[in-house]
Amino acid sequence: MNLRPEDYDALGAFRYAMRKFLRFSKDALAAAKVTTEQYEALLAVKTRSNSEGITVGELSERLQVKHHTAVSLLDKLVAHRLVVRRRASEDRRQVHINLTSRGDSVLARMAALHRREIRHRSSEMITALRRLQK
């Protein structure tokens, strides 16, 4: 497939807009003493949980990491009192993860900052994506 100069320009513009957002995110999360991976995990727990919580396997899939990587990340979140683990009542082999009130509070603050920044940067990203659709 042959790309036109404007395709490269649109790709570059989108990557640049994303890079600015990711820089903002990294700095905001560092100030809150939360890593990018921890923030993404907290979001996954909040948005993908059923009444019992999200399973380690579901978290692993959502974050696109291996099971042992998700477990290691969860160990850190538990140590910071941001999430709790509970064995499933029906299948004791399954572990469910839920946010603590502290985790919910940290996530709410970080999500509000990220939402505001995305609103600020979205037109730049959308413009670049529209150029890529042509």
Q: In this structure, are residues 87 and 55 in contact, taking their beta carbons and an 8 Å threshold?
A: no
Kindly report, residue by residue over 8-65, the tens digit of the pLDDT: 999 999 999 999 999 999 999 999 999 999 999 999 999 986 778 899 999 999 999 9
Topology at the third CATH level for domain 5-133: Arc Repressor Mutant, subunit A (1.10.10)
**pTM summary value:** 0.87
- DSSP string covering 27-38: HHHHHTT--HHH
Domain ranges, ordered by start, for the chain: 5-133
